[in-house]
Chain A
Amino acid sequence: DTEVTQTPKHLVMGMTNKKSLKCEQHMGHRAMYWYKQKAKKPPELMFVYSYEKLSINESVPSRFSPECPNSSLLNLHLHALQPEDSALYLCASSPGDRLLRDNNQPQHFGDGTRLSIL
């Protein structure tokens, strides 16, 4: 069991659908991350929220829309995705730092949502 919970575990959607991925942690962490992982590849950073504010957007297409409604929750809203967006989407959290100098903090990962676009 991980301390970062992601739902759903699997999601199949059409290219015209709108869906959301959810991530929750109750460790009091203030930094939360979204990663995308294609098969047999390392995770790629998509977004970082620090103290509920978006601090990094790694040039992700606008069909992916992140949201951090409070310090425990992180959502990823999906709309008009393409087949190449099929991947494992991982959420992670770390304690956070108001000066964004959190590079010495371990990240805690969830087990991901496996997304398939038809």
Chain B
Amino acid sequence: DAKTTQPNSMESNEEEPVHLPCNHSTISGTDYIHWYRQLPSQGPEYVIHGLTSNVNNRMASLAIAEDRKSSTLILHRATLRDAAVYYCILRGYQKVTFGIGTKLQVIP
């Protein structure tokens, strides 16, 4: 099964951009890359997803490498409310593979 690798933790200053990396070197052609975040005592919240092209939405941007073996979630201006665990996930047909998650700390 495809796996994802993420740093355990990262720090960012408030109102600065944040780049959260994810490696998925064994990704298959039909796997979509999804990102979710989870606050304490809450369920995961969808952030963004993509297949090959870079994607933007109101929450974040997703940059996908040309060979699809890595991706980066970009938060353009971190706020204190963005402090959470961010999961990089590969979703294939009938399978879901979560990474270990990156705990993002936002410093005021």
A-B pair count, CB < 8 Å, reads 51
Top-10 shortest CB links A-B:
A109-B43, A42-B98, A103-B91, A106-B46, A111-B43, A109-B44, A103-B32, A45-B96, A104-B32, A111-B42
- B24 partner residues in chain A, CB cutoff 8 A: none
Contact residues of A: prevailing secondary structure: loop
Q: Within 8 Å of chain B (Cβ to Cβ): is A92?
A: yes
Q: Which of A44, A92, A103 is close to B43, meaning CB atoms less than 8 Å apart?
A: A92
Q: Within 8 Å of chain A (Cβ to Cβ): is B49?
A: yes
Let me know if B43 and A112 touch, CB within 8 A: yes
- A104 partner residues in chain B, CB cutoff 8 A: 32, 49, 51, 91
Let me know if A110 and B34 touch, CB within 8 A: no
Give the distance to chain B from A65, nearest Cβ to Cβ, in Å: 20
Residues in B lying within 8 Å of A, measured CB to CB: 30-32, 34, 36, 41-46, 49, 51, 87, 91-96, 98-101
- B93 partner residues in chain A, CB cutoff 8 A: 100-101, 103
- B98 partner residues in chain A, CB cutoff 8 A: 42-44
Most buried by A among B32, B44, B101: B44
- State the interface size on chain A (CB cutoff 8 A): 24
Closest to A43 in B: B98
Inter-chain CA distance A55–B93, complex, in Å, is 11
Let me know if B45 and A109 touch, CB within 8 A: yes
- B36 partner residues in chain A, CB cutoff 8 A: 107, 109
Let me know if B31 and A103 touch, CB within 8 A: yes
Give the distance to chain B from A7, nearest Cβ to Cβ, in Å: 14
Give the distance to chain B from A60, nearest Cβ to Cβ, in Å: 14
Q: Within 8 Å of chain B (Cβ to Cβ): is A59?
A: no
21 CB contacts below 8 A, A to B, read: A33-B96, A42-B87, A42-B100, A43-B98, A92-B44, A100-B93, A101-B93, A103-B30, A103-B31, A103-B93, A104-B49, A104-B51, A104-B91, A106-B34, A106-B49, A107-B46, A108-B46, A109-B45, A111-B41, A111-B42, A111-B43
